[in-house]
Amino acid sequence: MRRARLALLLAATGLLLGAAPSVAVADRGAGLSTREREALDLLQAAARAGRDLTYTGTQQVATWRGPQAGSATAEVHHDPARGSTVDADEPLAVTAVLDPRLLRLLASSYDLAVAGPGTCTGRSARVVEASRADGSLAGRFWVDHDSGLLLRREVFDDRGRRLRSSAFVELSVGAGTASVAPAQQAALPAETAVAGLRADGWDVPRTLPGGLRLFATELTTPRPGGQLLHLAYSDGLSSVSLFEQRGRLGSAPLTGFRPAEVDGRPVWVRDAAPERVVWDGGGRVWTMVSDAPPATVRAAVAELPHDGAGSADGGVRTRLGRGLGRLGSLLNPFD
Amino acid sequence: MTCLGDVVAALVDGELDHAARERAQRHLAHCADCRAEVDAQRRLKSRLSGVSVDPSPSDALTARLLGLTSQPPPFREGTGADGAPPLVARPARPLTAAARGAARPVTLRTAGGPGSVRPGSARSRLRRRAGVGSALVALGLGAALALGGPQPSRPSTPVDPGTDAFVVDFVSTTGGSGGAGSGR
């Protein structure tokens, strides 16, 4: 596989996406217990360290999707002035970079607690655990005791199976100290921005199944006359990017994708993590890119517009209503 | 019945507007019963969409329908209660002696009084009207479904979905959630 150098200036993405006026995330906020506040403070300090420190290291990233497993290695260099550079075969997330918006979603979706001490790549760490309402473990974070950097992260499904793991296997931290200023105010896209997109005909769900909440929107024009809407959802541990393009899929198979069905409707799936699902519906082509559990991805795809078998272009009711309208128009001599 | 009630079906059918869908999903995030109900209805819908329905009647129904043609239609002569012209029946069964002796069509009378018809005949007329009504409704719905299909002239704009650039955008945006790796 061709080894591509992927430079991801992750620190800047928060400015690129959701640049529209925004409102604060509505979470449990002041309702956090002392135990949860301590854990959230630790992760927010890790976010500042990941943004403000200079460090170089090697990360091992692994994913599990049922019987399939994959792993990758990435060379990571972060400079507070230039952002993060990731040298890897595929686009990889950087463990040490924590988006404050996702931390707020994490705190509102899961119960956080400092579980105790741990070690990672020979460094002493404090471990933070994120649990679901039923008490099952959803995520675990290792925060470096000395630098405050996030060293390792693991995500589990609701049956306790590991979904993803990313960890530094080598790390060198440069000089400098992390700021103590509060993290960037976490924000969700403003209702006016979402309403504007909807008024232009875009479908913008605020939430997706699995507790995923919209936290960023970006409308671009990658080619003349062809707009692309990117909607980003997360619960703080798993994320979904939903891309909308006006148009329809052609009849030719998508290269690298396999045909599949979700809720009886045809889709194209690319299994390699992050999973990609492509389909058309409602006059648009939808692409979902996600590291969420497969069941969550299927449920999210099922709730969005579909064309094709079983859907009757929006459902029987929609088709019936449209047909009655056209029938009335045909029978109305004044129409 | 779950907390969401009929909203579950509307959610599964994709009939909810944005606000209602979000309210339902927020509820689902915390209600295992409703979540299970949504999952069950989704599975049922998925199964139904794969079922091939044979529209031909069963053998038993066919035999019963054929049997009806060998039976005489309701013997309805004279003027009905609604003043409709009399229908002269030609029964296939042998007429009774009384009927054979009648020189003209018989106006049937019952205990209901002059001009009334047998209750069985009224029920038959109601059934017939209901049948005609049902057929008209079915015809209308069928026409609506046929007309309600996608516009044949809908443009088919070529797009470039699912590209690697989307994965880069995903990682750039959700980099904080971590764990995106190659699935080799």
* Residues belonging to chain B: 184
Cis upstream peptide for B91 (omega within 30°): no
Q: Which residue has the higher pLDDT, B167 or B49?
A: B167
Contacts of A288 in chain B (CB under 8 A): none
Contacts of B148 in chain A (CB under 8 A): 318-324, 326
CA atoms of B162 and A279, how far apart (whole Å): 10
Model pLDDT, residue A109: 94
- Name the band, by pLDDT with cuts 50, 70 and 90, for residue B84: very low
Count residue pairs from A and B with Cβ separation < 8 A.
242
Interface of A with B in 52-71 (CB under 8 A): 61-63, 65, 68, 70-71
Model pLDDT, residue A90: 72
A183 touching B (Cβ < 8 Å): no
Asked if the model's pLDDT at residue B37 lies above 70, the reply is yes
Phi, psi of B16, deg, nearest 5:
-85, 150
Q: Give the distance from residue B74's alpha carbon to the nearest chain A alpha carbon, in angstroms.
A: 37
Nearest to B174 among A206, A234, A318 (CB): A234
Among B47, B153, B173, most A C-beta atoms within 10 A, so best to mutate, is: B173
Q: Which three-class secondary structure string do you get for chain B?
A: CCCCCCHHHHHHCCCCCHHHHHHHHHHHCCCHHHHHHHHHHHHHHHHHHCCCCCCCCCHHHHHHHHHHHCCCCCCCCCCCCCCCCCCCCCCCCCCCHHHHHCCCCCCCCECCECCCCCHHHHHHHHHHHHHHHHHHHHHHHHHHHHHCCCCCCCCCCCCCCCCHHHHHHHHHHHHHHCCCCCCC
Model pLDDT, residue B123: 75
- Region at A49 (left for phi over 0; alpha for psi -120 to 50; beta for the rest): alpha
Model pLDDT, residue A167: 93
ipTM over 0.90: no
CA atoms of A335 and A329, how far apart (whole Å): 6
Interface of B with A in 150-169 (CB under 8 A): 150, 154-162, 164, 166-169
- Asked if B175 lies within 8 A of A286 by C-beta distance, the reply is no
- Name the band, by pLDDT with cuts 50, 70 and 90, for residue A247: confident
CA atoms of B144 and A324, how far apart (whole Å): 5
- Asked if A248 lies within 8 A of B154 by C-beta distance, the reply is yes
Model pLDDT, residue B179: 38
A239 touching B (Cβ < 8 Å): yes
A296 touching B (Cβ < 8 Å): no
B125 touching A (Cβ < 8 Å): no
On the 0-12 / 13-18 / 19+ scale of CB atoms within 10 A, A53 is: buried
Average pLDDT, integer, range B23-28: 81
CA atoms of A83 and A78, how far apart (whole Å): 6
**Closest residue, chain B, to A208 (C-alpha):** B25
Residues A167-221 pLDDT 10s = 999 999 987 777 766 655 556 777 888 999 999 889 999 999 999 999 999 999 8
Radius of gyration of chain B (CA): 31
Q: Which residue has the higher pLDDT, A62 or A322?
A: A62
Asked if the model's pLDDT at residue A270 lies above 70, the reply is yes
Q: Give the distance from residue B47's alpha carbon to the nearest chain A alpha carbon, in angstroms.
A: 8
Lowest-confidence region among A39-43, A215-219, A305-309: A305-309
Across chain A, what does the average pLDDT equal? 81
Model pLDDT, residue B15: 77
Q: Are A141 and A45 a contacting pair, CB within 8 Å?
A: no
Q: Give the distance from residue A81's alpha carbon to the nearest chain B alpha carbon, in angstroms.
A: 17
**Closest residue, chain A, to B14 (C-alpha):** A303
CA atoms of B117 and B115, how far apart (whole Å): 7
- Asked if A208 lies within 8 A of B141 by C-beta distance, the reply is no
Asked if the model's pLDDT at residue B109 lies above 60, the reply is no
Q: Which residue has the higher pLDDT, A268 or B144?
A: A268
Q: Are A227 and A245 a contacting pair, CB within 8 Å?
A: yes
- Asked if A6 lies within 8 A of B159 by C-beta distance, the reply is no
Average pLDDT, integer, range B104-117: 41
Residues A113-138 pLDDT 10s = 999 999 999 999 999 999 999 999 99
Q: Give the distance from residue B152's alpha carbon to the nearest chain A alpha carbon, in angstroms.
A: 12
Per the listing, tokens 């999973």 go with A275
CA A114, A116, A122 angle in degrees (round to 5)? 120
Contacts of B21 in chain A (CB under 8 A): 205, 207, 303
Max intra-chain CA distance, chain B: 99
Model pLDDT, residue A129: 97
Strands A239-246 and A258-262: unpaired
Q: What are the structure tokens assigned to A75, written together?
A: 């060379």
Contacts of B152 in chain A (CB under 8 A): none
Nearest to A90 among B148, B159, B181 (CB): B181
Across chain B, what does the average pLDDT equal? 62
Q: What are the structure tokens assigned to A70, written together?
A: 């994959």
